[in-house]
Structure 1
Amino acid sequence: MSTSSNSLHVAGGSPQFIDGGFIELVAVIGTGAYGVVYLAVDSRYPQPVYRAIKCMRRSGLDERQKHFQRREMGLHRLASGHPSIITMDRIFEEGDYIYVVMDYGDEGDLFSMITDKKRYVGDNELIRNVFLQLLDGVSWMHSLGISHRDIKPENIVCSQDGTQVRICDFGLATSEERSSEFGCGSTFYIAPECLGDWFPENKTYPTRSGDIWSLGVILVNLVCGRNPWRIASPSDESFNSYLADPHFLRKILPVSDECLYILTQIFTVHPEERITLPALRQLISEVESFSMTVDELRHAHITAQQKIAAAQPPVLLSLPREDDGWSEQEELFAYDDDLETPSLRSNSDSPRYPLCLSPTTSSNGESLPPTPNLIPDECIAFAHQPQSPQFWEYVPKVTFEYDHNQRSTDVHIKGSCPFTYNSAPTTYAQ
């Protein structure tokens, strides 16, 4: 990887080299409420290697913010001994900042691998292999008493042409078996019990089961390149259609009967009824095909036929550019009236719930509830607060544009940061 020497300009005279000169910061690769992540060259070892360096402010924090910071670093360090978890190499402090040195995922995140490279649709063995890696990583975390609570393609980094995947970003992770922090997660991937609107009488929810739910949505992403619904909320029309008839998913997604059965074992409103990780692993290992067969497609609902055609390669919808008259008042979902299921894109200016669009009508005249496009999802956790207004402010409006396989992020930052910000997709930091 070659980078320009001007790709990173150090603010306020801060050094471009840290850790006693062993680490050279090259460019910003991620941003979030808790810090900046840099691509760096680590020369501490005989052979220099690329690293992802997460920079977090350690001064000016209240006790709650310090707790979240310590929790993230501690749980990530505990979990990083597994091949499906991004390894934390070391932590050190310099000046007002803490630096977390992690392995670098050289092929970006799983979101890009699904949407830009169209790597998985139709490849049953690759889907199985990648999903089992993620499942094993989650099993490892749960065995240590850790719930991730924000598993999604943007928090999974890839290598070896998308055949190796590793989970990162422990910003929302917890060691609590039950939590009262409702709303912790990301819209497309958050489980019903984590929202708090299905069972308002419950004061807490189990944290482990939410990770299994998130894996189910990722399975749909891998198989179809789409999302099944915008959010598992009583207000979501597609999710309610699924609850009324689980076979609804086969009307909007080209999944096999085997895959549908697995999804129904995952997508249960009551977390205590959800499949366990060992049982899920067994089912995934035994699946012959995750997608509909050719014969099934001939008789399938026309929407599913459109989806399988769109997935090879997937039809990805572009968001309007700023110069096309896009305004904050307009709805931020990119949605094609001819498609009823979501691609891996959708966006909202709301930090908690996505906007709702009216139902569309399929080409055969049958009305189906709209489903969202899959887009890098914003974190909706009220508990995941920025460290300090003086460090920076992550403004809710985030626009992702897709043009010729290039992704950019429009992020507004205020306040001082140790280095100037260069716009880049968020992978390691949320």
Structure 2
Amino acid sequence: MRLRMRSGMGRALCVATAGVLALSGCGVDEGGTSSDAKGPYQVLMVLGLTGPVAGNAQAEVNAMKAGADVLNRAGGIGGRQVQVKVVDTQTDPTKAVSLLQNELAGDTLPDLVWAGVTSDETLAMLPVLSQRKVLSVAQTAADASNDPAKYPYHFGMQPAAKVAAEAAAAQLKESGAARVGLIAADSAFGQSTEEASEKAFTAAGLQVVRERYSSTAVDLTAPIQRLAAAKPDAVYFQAYGAPSTYVLNARAKLGLTGTPFVGSLSVSATNTTEVTPAAALSGVSLQIYQVQEFKDEAQRSPAMKEMIAAIGKYGKLDQAMNLYSNTYDSLMLAAAATEQAGASGEPAAKAMEALKPPSTVRWVTFDSYGFTPQSHFAVPNQSGKGYTFVEAKPGPAIDGMIKIS
């Protein structure tokens, strides 16, 4: 069976338990109660700059700083210059809560918080952010974080897991697969992907065999071997960071390169094709966003050119484009919402749910994000397909993008 690569498709681990909340003082309403409407627009990034996804986090930091530079050259947000502060959680959700609480204990609150590079960090921080009514964003996508009733001030820059899962189901079915292996990490996002994928695959008439692996394991031979024993026609795998390579190395070790493996969006969000041995990439395809498809200079929109130039000031774009663009977009969206609402915090969150395109649209990843009172995850209104499936070719991305031919 052979997967056709360019098929178009129209598109918790909540560490903040009572114990953690008590440790960090989450239950105590101390510190500032609002942002400083006359001072700089303050962006606080609380994320793991050290740890297994440090490269992803650095890409997010560079993109946020680039977004601030672009807005500041244009006059800021409502006349306020944008400042970005970064706090390293070491990818530890418990530490993320403690550090966040310390930052919120000052005289004023930040206008915007980037809440983690992993879903576990995000879910740990959301109770604190909601209690303090601070607008927050992230591109983590565990379903539990998309709960406007519980977390009314948080917005996810990616679509819900089921959207990507439905695209993958259509791709796998079109390829001729009947029995599909599904393997995901035991993380919050891994579980969301697993649940959404099994539901979408089953609804598409595919037989599903599942396996789960520890997100801290480095040798995944055993779970891949168990999955292979079920003799799937193809395997859809979720991983984030180094585990992407661990999955593929185990596949190669077991001689399974004849079985097509399809990497989820989180696999393509890391530099998998650069760090994985070429032999282990044989027969592998990746699910990617439109924005990750390589475009030469002439094909790039003015907004994309402006973004890439601004990010380039902070270093080479050596991670997946959506890591940069989703982060950059989050600040552009928050800026538009704040200006339309005339204030940060709760008014800006309400404006995000019915955002009107500003005179200059600077976001890049999607035509629009489509947040509503019912869903605070992106609901892209794309002119064309939302996802593409491409062959995983060895080598780095070019300006964060993947050449597909």
Q: TM-score, normalised by structure 2?
A: 0.30
Give 1 or 2: higher helix fraction.
2
Q: TM-score, normalised by structure 1?
A: 0.29
